[in-house]
Amino acid sequence: MPVTSPEAAISARNLTLTLGTPSAPVEILKGIDLDVMPGEVVALLGPSGSGKSSLMAVLTGLERASGGSLEVAGADFSDMDEDGLAMARRGRIGIVLQAFHLLPTMTAIENVATPMELAGMADARERASAELDAVGLGHRKDHYPAQLSGGEQQRVAIARATAPRPPLIFADEPTGNLDAATGHAIIDLLFAQARDTGATLFVITHDVELAERCGRVITIGDGRIASDVTK
């Protein structure tokens, strides 16, 4: 088996993902080799259906790879079952999605604190409070998602992702549901939070302007890496 890079934040070798049914398999990832070093800011570009979300699902442990080897923040994801991946994800990976995915019955502070409470962090509430201050929502902590604008909801989602101080943050089209001005502010915040916490940031985007702000741009096409450019 090929040897991965132990010092990398993400190290993948010949990663494959095949879904569908045994009689009609669909090859989605066709052999991804990738090393991302700690602190890198990476944009993942590619046409619709090229496999961006699938690659993120595998790199975050939400989906098991069909083949190949994968190490993420020092954990070997290759041979883990779903429970193992869920455990490994906790504390290692923060995720920000296009549709925010906040729990509607919880206030902003509860949305940020609850995952940390479930992970057994004693100071979850204090951390959540400080993180909401850091994203400029100190005055909206007790508000429910429906009482917040889209940009404010995405700030809560960013606070939720970064509060446990994961070494890796993944964002899938984080500005896709926001107007241009709000989207710019959200990207500034995401970059600042990643920089301030020392996290590696991996952003899926269709936005070329956003990609240009990233130190490295990886383009995926038909389940393979088509180009990989570091500035």
46 binds ligand ATP (CB under 6 A): yes
65 binds ligand ATP (CB under 6 A): no
How would you list the strands of the sheet with 75-76, edge to edge? 25-36, 10-20, 67-72, 75-76
How would you list the strands of the sheet with 168-172, edge to edge? 93-97, 168-172, 200-204, 41-45, 216-221, 224-230
Residue 20 or residue 198: which is nearer to ligand ATP going by CB? 20
48 binds ligand ATP (CB under 6 A): yes
Q: Which of 3-11, 44-52, 137-145, 160-168 is the region at the interface with ligand ATP (rule: CB under 6 A)?
A: 44-52
54 binds ligand ATP (CB under 6 A): yes
53 binds ligand ATP (CB under 6 A): yes
Q: How far is the CB of 53 from ligand ATP (least distance, A)?
A: 3
Work out the angle between the directed axes of helices 150-162 and 108-118 (0-180°, nearest 10): 20
Q: How far is the CB of 4 from ligand ATP (least distance, A)?
A: 23
26 binds ligand ATP (CB under 6 A): yes
β-pair partners for 76: 71
Instruction: Select the residue interacting with ligand ATP from 13, 52, 140, 160 (CB under 6 A).
Output: 52
Q: Which of 42-50, 139-147, 153-161, 208-216 is the region at the interface with ligand ATP (rule: CB under 6 A)?
A: 42-50
Nearest Cα to Cα of residue 169 among 35, 56, 74, 63: 56
Using an 8 Å Cβ cutoff, are 193 and 136 in contact?
Answer: no
Nearest Cα to Cα of residue 6 among 75, 91, 88: 75
Instruction: Select the residue interacting with ligand ATP from 28, 116, 199, 211 (CB under 6 A).
Output: 28
Place of tokens 């923060």: 94
List binders of ligand ATP among 5-24 (CB under 6 A). 19-20
Instruction: Select the residue interacting with ligand ATP from 40, 51, 97, 137 (CB under 6 A).
Output: 51
Token couple for 44: 């993942």
Residue 98 or residue 114: which is nearer to ligand ATP going by CB? 98
How many residues contact ligand ATP, by CB under 6 A? 12
174 binds ligand ATP (CB under 6 A): no
Q: Which of 50-58, 97-105, 123-131, 180-188 is the region at the interface with ligand ATP (rule: CB under 6 A)?
A: 50-58
Q: Tell me which residues touch ligand ATP (CB under 6 A).
A: 19-20, 26, 28, 46, 48-54
